[in-house]
Each structure stands twice: as structure tokens, then as C-alpha cells.
């Protein structure tokens, strides 16, 4: 899956059920969309230095995952469609 990047190399990924997908969560609008579905998260490579599998204590996530630690926020479909952001 390719994720569209903005000028700062930041990106937005909307994860939702298909029926909750905001109309503007499209590649044309610089947004990647993923079906929440039932696929699960998958497995991480045990040799990856920043694997979340190494997190054993809450609060250490940013330190362990480093640049791979996701910065996220939650919003609802209506707000995203109105603002295009979170």
C-alpha cells in the first residue's frame, strides 16, 4: 500500500469500516484509507529494533518505537468530511 505524503512527508491514514469511510478520505485528497475489517494487526519482525513487541511497560512506547511511533488522533466521519483533518 502506498501512502500519500504531503510536502513535510507527513501523512493521514483513515481506518474505518467501509460504511463509515468519509467521502473525502481518498488518495486524490492526500489521504490513505484502510478497511478496519477483521484482518488483525499481523506479526512484527522480531529482529526489528523498534518493534512494538518490545514494549513491556506503558509509557515507553515513544522511546522503544522511536521514529516509528505513530502520532494519531481520533475523529468522527462528519468532522473529517467537514474539515479534512482531525
**Is residue 3 in some structural domain?**
no
**Number of domains present in the structure of the chain:** 1
What Rg, from alpha-carbon coordinates, does the chain have?
15
Q: Does residue 4 lie in a domain region?
A: no
Domain assignment present for residue 41? The answer is yes
Q: Is 7 inside any structural domain?
A: no
C-alpha cell at 69: 511511533
Tell me which residue range forms the domain holding 55.
12-83
Per-residue confidence (pLDDT) for residue 41, from 0 to 100? 56
In the chain (86 residues long), the average pLDDT of successive 10-residue segments reads 86 88 94 77 78 89 92 86 73
Q: Domain for residue 68, yes or no? A: yes
Neighbour count for residue 50 (Cβ, 10 Å): 13
Give the model's pLDDT for residue 43. Answer: 67
What distance in Å separates the CA atoms of residue 47 and residue 74, rounded to the nearest whole number? 31
Domain assignment present for residue 16? The answer is yes
Rounded (5°) CA angle 56-59-63: 85
Cell numbers linked to 3: 501512502
pTM score of the predicted model: 0.54
Residue 2 lies in a domain: no
Could you tell me if residue 45 is inside a domain?
yes
Amino acid at each position: 500500500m502506498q501512502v500519500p505524503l504531503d510536502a513535510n512527508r507527513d501523512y493521514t491514514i483513515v481506518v474505518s469500516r467501509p460504511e463509515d469511510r468519509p467521502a473525502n478520505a481518498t488518495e486524490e485528497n492526500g489521504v490513505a484509507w484502510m478497511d478496519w475489517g477483521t484482518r488483525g494487526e499481523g506479526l512484527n519482525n522480531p529482529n526489528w529494533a523498534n518493534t512494538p513487541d518490545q514494549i513491556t511497560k506503558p509509557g515507553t512506547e515513544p522511546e522503544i518505537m522511536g521514529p516509528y511511533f505513530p502520532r494519531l488522533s481520533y475523529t468522527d466521519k462528519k468532522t473529517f468530511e467537514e474539515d479534512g483533518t482531525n
